[in-house]
Amino acid sequence: MSTPSKSDSKSDNAAFSVEERGIDLVPAEARQGKPIDMLWMWLGANMSVFYIVVGALVVYTGLSFAQAIIAIVLGNVAWVVLGFDSVQGPSTGTATYAVSRAAYGPKGGQGLSVLNWLTNVGFEASGLSVAVLAALALLKNAGVGSSSGLKIGLVLTGLVLMVIIPLYGHATILLVQRWVAYIAIPLLSIMGIMILTKVNLGSSKAGGWAAMSVAIALVMANGGLSANCGSDYSRYLPEDSSKTAVFWYSTLGGMLPSLLLSCLGAALASVIASGSDPIAGIPKALPSFVFVPYLLYVIISTLTGASWNLYSSGLSVQAAGVYLKRWHCVLLDAVICAVLGMIVVFSSSFNAYYSDFLSLLIVWLAPWGAIYVVDWLLRRGKYDATSLLAGREGIYWRRNGWHVPALYAQGLGMLATTLWINSPAFVGPLSSRFNHSDLSAFMGIATASLVYWLLARKSVPQEKPVDVPPVPVVNTPALVLPTRELVDG
């Protein structure tokens, strides 16, 4: 079996040089960086207006401001999954869904990799759509009317800009997200102060426990459970990096912007009735002179934010067994993203599409996150990195590439989430029976965790590393983009 090509040099992970490595194990000589890099990575990646939208939607589910804050805090606890997910990167040197093979088996993990790829494509299309809508609003403000040709041109332009960063790869993404964080922190702080001076925190009435459960599920689906690619970005850290530091920097990097911006969105919901619209709604609470800078920031943050989804989706394609070069996967995603982006832009129903998309993610993400963490605990964080990519020669091959306990746990966990989900797209039978509550995340996590622990508690701790022959490598031509050496020379 062939695998993605491998690079032995450190230079392929320099900023603005094309990274050729995919899910291949990162060798010791290519390791670099510090755990605090994960803080800046996830701060920049999550300085997004989407969290303001989520905070507003929490209030619109029927909660008071105080209840919304409680729901936002509880929902953001899910970011610990990103922290656990990131810890495996330095110890294994490979991406999240390659590590996930330890729990599911090489073949069992392929289906989850496909689901993660589809999830990332959805976020990419959402980011592209919002950037285009913001650009249209900006042009309208300048007196330029909308047209089909203009929309198509903006989608294609946004796509090109969005693709550049993930084509370069890991080091470039980390650097750009740090820059985004530097810009976003003061800008969003100023915007927050402007909004908070107008809020009326007593304008909404208290809701019941059913509305609270729906809100918590919404926050979890849009936050920590959906950022399920921590090792994709921590895998280049030295193997002896502090696990505690990697965990907390990754967790807080995602949690802090999500928590604060969602709370800001909840406050915004007391000012306007359309805070769920990041283009037409949120600017109504801002002074007119902030309108243009705000839209420019929306364009920049959504395009750079979607870049890490593009990068991780490419790694997920490889983990699914489609052995394309990493940058081939990025271009494949870009084509699909363009089609979906045009559908959303021309439909004028972004809010509906995004709400339906978010509401269904939790069906598979909640069980997956639970199994991933329980498996990590059972094996005490120790993996045979070579076996993760070795196929039938490795210890994770088990029953023809499948790990039955994880498959049972995933299936039953997804059944539990489906029975309890309350979303615009689908309402589960138990949710309907119990006042339209949404316990999907909790039931999915509890069911998958318990089932996997019961079935794997004896076998997983006994798995020991084995000698695996070298994995064959396919050498394909590298993508040529302007590199630092070319620019300087």
Q: What pLDDT is stored for residue 477 in this prediction?
A: 41
In three state form, how does the secondary structure of the chain look?
CCCCCCCCCCHHHCCCCCCCCCCCCCCHHHCCCCCHHHHHHHHHHCCCHHHHHHHHHHHHCCCCHHHHHHHHHHHHHHHHHHHHHHHHHHHHCCCHHHHCHHHHCCCHHHHHHHHHHHHHHHHHHHHHHHHHHHHHHHHHHCCCCCCHHHHHHHHHHHHHHHHHHHHHCHHHHHHHHHHHHHHHHHHHHHHHHHHHCCCCCCCCCCCCHHHHHHHHHHHHHHCCCCCCCHHHHHCCCCCCCCHHHHHHHHHHHHHHHHHHHHHHHHHHCCCCCCCCCCCCCHHHHCCHHHHHHHHHHHHHHHHHHHHHHHHHHHHHHHHCCCCCCHHHHHHHHHHHHHHHHHHHHHHCCHHHHHHHHHHHHHHHHHHHHHHHHHHHHHCCCCCCHHHHCCHHHCCCCCECCECHHHHHHHHHHHHHHHHHCECCCCECHHHHHCCCCCCHHHHHHHHHHHHHHHHHCCCHHHCCCCCCCCCCCCCCCCCCCCCHHHHHC
Q: 210 and 69 in contact (C-beta within 8 Å)? A: no
- Name which of 47-56, 68-77, 193-202 the model is least confident about: 193-202
Dihedral of the CA atoms 214, 305, 131, 160 (nearest 10)?
-140
Q: What is the tens place of the pLDDT at every residue in 380-415? A: 888 999 999 988 888 999 989 999 999 999 999 999
Say which residue, 323 or 468, is predicted with more confidence.
323
| Percentage of the residues of the chain whose pLDDT score is greater than 70 | 86
Q: What pLDDT is stored for residue 80 in this prediction?
A: 92
Per-residue pLDDT, averaged over 224-250, amounts to 91
Average pLDDT over the chain, rounded to an integer: 84
Helical axes 148-168 vs 291-319, angle rounded to 10°:
60
Q: What pLDDT is stored for residue 480 in this prediction?
A: 42
d(CA 330, CA 162) in angstroms, rounded, equals 10
Say which residue, 238 or 145, is predicted with more confidence.
238
Q: What pLDDT is stored for residue 90 in this prediction?
A: 95
Q: What is the tens place of the pLDDT at every residue in 431-467? A: 999 888 889 989 999 999 999 999 999 999 998 776 6
162: which residues sit within 8 A by CB, 6+ positions away?
A: 124, 127, 128, 131, 303, 306, 307, 310, 334, 337
Q: What is the tens place of the pLDDT at every residue in 269-292? A: 877 765 556 666 666 667 777 788
Q: What is the tens place of the pLDDT at every residue in 116-146? A: 998 888 888 888 888 888 898 889 888 888 8
Q: What pLDDT is stored for residue 7 in this prediction?
A: 45
Cβ count near 462 (within 10 Å): 8
d(CA 278, CA 298) in angstroms, rounded, equals 8
d(CA 432, CA 417) in angstroms, rounded, equals 13
d(CA 470, CA 104) in angstroms, rounded, equals 23
Per-residue pLDDT, averaged over 37-63, amounts to 88
| 32-358 maps to CATH 1.10.4160.10 | yes
Q: What pLDDT is stored for residue 416 in this prediction?
A: 96
Say which residue, 383 or 485, is predicted with more confidence.
383
Say which residue, 294 or 369, is predicted with more confidence.
369
Per-residue pLDDT, averaged over 348-353, amounts to 62
Q: Evaluate if residue 76 carries a pLDDT over 50.
A: yes
Q: What pLDDT is stored for residue 8 in this prediction?
A: 46
| Percentage of the residues of the chain whose pLDDT score is greater than 90 | 41
Q: What is the tens place of the pLDDT at every residue in 359-389? A: 688 899 999 999 999 999 999 888 999 999 9
Cβ count near 43 (within 10 Å): 22
Q: 214 and 68 in contact (C-beta within 8 Å)? A: no
Q: 122 and 316 in contact (C-beta within 8 Å)? A: no
Per-residue pLDDT, averaged over 95-106, amounts to 94
Q: What pLDDT is stored for residue 177 in this prediction?
A: 93
Which residues on neighbouring strands pair with residue 402, listed in sequence order?
Answer: 399
Q: 98 and 385 in contact (C-beta within 8 Å)? A: no
Q: Evaluate if residue 27 carries a pLDDT over 80.
A: yes
Q: What pLDDT is stored for residue 79 in this prediction?
A: 93
Q: What pLDDT is stored for residue 473 in this prediction?
A: 40
Q: What pLDDT is stored for residue 1 in this prediction?
A: 40
d(CA 371, CA 485) in angstroms, rounded, equals 44
Q: What angle do CA 23, 25, 31 make, to 5 degrees?
A: 110
Q: What is the tens place of the pLDDT at every residue in 4-18? A: 444 444 546 788 888
Q: What pLDDT is stored for residue 484 in this prediction?
A: 40
Domain chopping of the chain, boundaries = 32-358
Q: Evaluate if residue 89 carries a pLDDT over 70.
A: yes
Q: Evaluate if residue 263 carries a pLDDT over 70.
A: yes
Helical axes 404-420 vs 440-456, angle rounded to 10°:
160
Q: What angle do CA 382, 383, 388 make, to 5 degrees?
A: 170
Per-residue pLDDT, averaged over 406-425, amounts to 93
In one-letter notation, the amino acid at residue 140 is: K
Q: What pLDDT is stored for residue 401 in this prediction?
A: 92
74, two tokens: 């509880």
pTM (2 d.p.): 0.86
Q: What pLDDT is stored for residue 481 in this prediction?
A: 47
